[in-house]
Amino acid sequence: MNYEAVRESADYILSKLKGKTDTGIILGSGLGGLVDVIEDPVVIPYGEIPHFPKATLAGHAGNFVFGKIGGRRVAVMQGRFHCYQGLGMDQVTYPLYVMKLLGVSDLVITNACGGIRKDFRPGDLMIITDFINMLGTNPLIGDNDERFGVRFPDMSEPYSHELIALAEKCAASCGISYQKGVYLATTGPSYETAAEIRAFRTLGADAVGMSTVPETIVARYLGMKVLGIACITNMATGLAREPHTHEEVLRIADESSARLCRWVTDILKA
């Protein structure tokens, strides 16, 4: 990753903010409600930021929203970049490098995904305990700049045990039920076949989606602690009674958004 470009992106953002940012939050499809609880929001459209990826995000807003939630200084990504848009992995993960230079040390990633485990139901929220990368590539391929991280980053704890314990404690105190499981990423944009879902179950996956893994790998490389929360918007192919549609994914995500927001807000406070 080009350090100077990231520095310029971060300096542009810093010129609009009063202080440092400690927590990054990536919002998944239909889970945008969290921006409404940000205090003193400063909205910076991606298009304004030098060197930021240029991509159209159909159905997604493309903004960084800065402010405070639960006393934490947050950088919320309203709209994220996906491989299926034809972007390189370095573009998909570019915002993470910028967040690092803004001071972010903790990251909350959310997404909408399909449930593979048979006891999951649409609307369930799942704490991501680990991932399986089926993207066929890795966002860290290329020259390594040691100012960002080491050449061979460890992935034994992609999702912070400490943050998972905190999320579980908050869920118990605010009465939110949740699942825990392994998230598997494909590039999309086609949904999986029933045979692929059977194969993914055999591999140990509990849920499947088209995001999150590139960002998690880069965040860990950058030394951030990551919490991942997935919203099961549908049962995966072969388990679902109806063919998948993006509209149904967005509808279920929207229904779950308020619960997710309450949970994340509580976690930030704690």
Please give the residue ranges that form the binding site for ligand HPA (CB under 6 A): 112-114, 191-192, 208-210, 233-234, 236, 244, 249
- For 187, counting Cβ atoms within 10 Å of its Cβ (0-12 exposed, 13-18 middle, 19+ buried), the class is middle
For the residues of 193-222, what is the DSSP string, one character each?
PHHHHHHHHHHT-SEEESSSHHHHHHHHHT
Residue 119: Cβ within 10 Å count: 8
Question: Of 19 and 86, which CB lies nearer to ligand HPA in the complex structure?
Answer: 86
Q: State in angstroms the smallest separation of the CB of 51 from ligand HPA.
A: 29
Question: Of 119 and 154, which CB lies nearer to ligand HPA in the complex structure?
Answer: 119
Question: Of 2 and 190, which CB lies nearer to ligand HPA in the complex structure?
Answer: 190
Q: State in angstroms the smallest separation of the CB of 79 from ligand HPA.
A: 15
Q: State in angstroms the smallest separation of the CB of 65 from ligand HPA.
A: 23
Phi, psi of 172 (to 5 degrees): -65, -45
Q: State in angstroms the smallest separation of the CB of 197 from ligand HPA.
A: 8
124 CB-near residues (< 8 Å, 6+ apart): 115, 178, 179, 231, 232
Question: Of 192 and 266, which CB lies nearer to ligand HPA in the complex structure?
Answer: 192
